[in-house]
């Protein structure tokens, strides 16, 4: 009986130690929860190699060496989207974007039904002045939980044509709604920022931001 009690106490102590090392933190890779949490020891936080691989890093494990390469290996296809979450800064080659404060509103297009407003912050990461329009922005578009696409009103998104100096930024409260009558709008699920080439050899990477709160 004493042996069994000792084993139970040892198991509880081990579980408590694991929880202490995890520090109650969750790990997200490109906006998706990782199956393995980070490990916190003192002031350092350690990320599992499997999570680094999921983030796109090249990881090589040898007998006495671990090599991590964040430059994509030659020939690997680029991801179609840079993904992130609400209240998180997400960057492609040209802009850093954050979406926050999603609120339900009446359809701003006046065709009935509901819509949403969102605070959208955009910062120019280029080494030259640029506008979103000049960079080939297509959207943004808000997608609800059943796949309906909601358009922004241009009057609520003046930053689209605002010339941003390198490092310059703006924040607009953008209103989204269905332009066709009768659409049953559900919960806000994501906002997508697509970019066309616009005379460039290649379009900037699209940005997809999840609007589903973390629980």
* Every domain of the chain and the residues it spans: 2-69, 81-210
Contacts of 194-202 spanning 24+ positions with Cβ under 8 A? 194/137, 194/138, 194/139, 194/141, 195/92, 195/94, 195/135, 195/136, 195/137, 195/138, 196/136, 196/138, 197/136, 198/134, 198/135, 198/136, 200/136
Predicted pLDDT of residue 56: 62
* Span 116-169, pLDDT tens digits: 999 999 999 999 999 999 999 998 999 999 999 999 999 999 999 999 999 999
pLDDT at 76 over 80: no
* Span 194-214, pLDDT tens digits: 999 877 888 999 999 999 876
CB-CB contact of 136 with 197 (8 Å): yes
What CA–CA distance (Å, rounded) separates 153 from 151? 7
pLDDT at 115 over 80: yes
* Span 84-100, pLDDT tens digits: 999 999 999 999 999 99
74: confidence class by pLDDT, cuts 50, 70, 90: very low
Predicted pLDDT of residue 61: 67
**CATH class, range 81-210:** mainly beta
């Amino acid at each position: 009986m004493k042996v069994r009690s000792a084993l139970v106490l040892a198991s509880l102590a081990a579980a408590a130690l694991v929880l202490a090392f995890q520090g109650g933190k969750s790990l997200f890779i490109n906006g998706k929860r990782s199956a393995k949490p980070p490990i916190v020891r003192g002031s350092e936080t350690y990320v599992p190699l499997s999570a680094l691989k999921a983030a796109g890093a090249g990881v090589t494990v040898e007998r006495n060496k671990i090599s991590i390469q964040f430059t994509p290996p030659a020939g690997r296809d680029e991801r179609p989207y840079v993904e992130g979450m609400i209240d998180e800064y997400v960057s492609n080659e040209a802009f850093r974007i954050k979406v926050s404060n999603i609120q339900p509103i009446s359809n701003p297009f006046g065709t009935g039904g509901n819509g949403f407003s969102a605070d959208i912050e955009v910062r120019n990461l280029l080494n030259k002045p640029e506008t979103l329009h000049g960079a080939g922005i297509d959207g943004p578009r808000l997608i609800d939980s059943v796949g309906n696409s909601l358009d922004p009103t241009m009057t609520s998104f003046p930053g689209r044509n605002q010339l941003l100096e390198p490092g310059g930024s703006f924040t607009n409260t953008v209103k989204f709604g269905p332009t066709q009558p009768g659409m049953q709008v559900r919960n806000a699920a994501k906002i997508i920022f697509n970019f066309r080439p616009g005379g460039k050899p290649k379009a900037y990477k699209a940005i997809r931001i999840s609007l589903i709160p973390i629980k």
